[in-house]
Amino acid sequence: MVVKIILGALVVTVIGLVVFKAIDPTLDNPSSNEDSIIDSGIDEESKISVGISGEVVREGNYVLDEGATMSQLIEAAGGVTTNADERCYFFEAILTENESYYIPPKFEVDDVCGNNPIEKININTASTAELMDISGVGATISQKIVDYRDENGTFYALEELKNVSGIGNATFSKMRNEIILKD
């Protein structure tokens, strides 16, 4: 009896493998995506890995062409949700290797009706006094943001704030829902 069960399981397994092979002819090719990139003649260095979270359909990490834009990353993530704040990203912003991008909400997540917009400050136009209204930003950080903006120009991604001395991941996490890049 046990032998019949084992034989039956073996036959079902073989039939299953044949069916899967018919459905996906690449099934027995153990190469990963990286191997496929190399095998297809595309230079591995021409790809970047970036992440996206927040108000997108599919949060996660994506491999895109070097020089890819925020628009391409959002498209790869299935688009933004209806609660995505379009003032917080530029479609044409060039992505940085190994960076994780965040799309903030327009409305408070715990707001059931979704009609109380989050008060936000434009980091590209705000004065030092206005910037101090952002969580985690005092007089020193506020001045550093303005100085960085004066030296480097417009912020094209919220994550560029982490380039400002004194703003790390923890501070950025506190402020990311309270800032915008454009009006």
The whole-angstrom separation of Cα 145 and Cα 152 is 10
What is residue 121's predicted lDDT score, i.e. its pLDDT? 97
Q: DSSP alpha helices (H): ranges in 24-131?
A: 33-39, 70-76, 128-131
The one-letter code for the residue type at 34 is E
Residues 47-72 have pLDDT tens digits of 999 999 999 999 999 999 999 999 99
DSSP state of 116: -
Write the pLDDT tens digit of every residue in 80-139.
999 999 999 999 999 999 999 999 999 987 756 667 889 999 999 999 999 999 999 999
User: 18 pLDDT band (50/70/90 cuts)?
Assistant: low
Mean pLDDT of 27-54: 60
Weakest mean pLDDT among 3-12, 30-39, 48-57? 30-39
Return the structure tokens found at 75: 């498209």
Among residues 82, 166, 160, 165, the alpha carbon closest in space to that of 176 is found at 160
Token output for 99: 């960076």
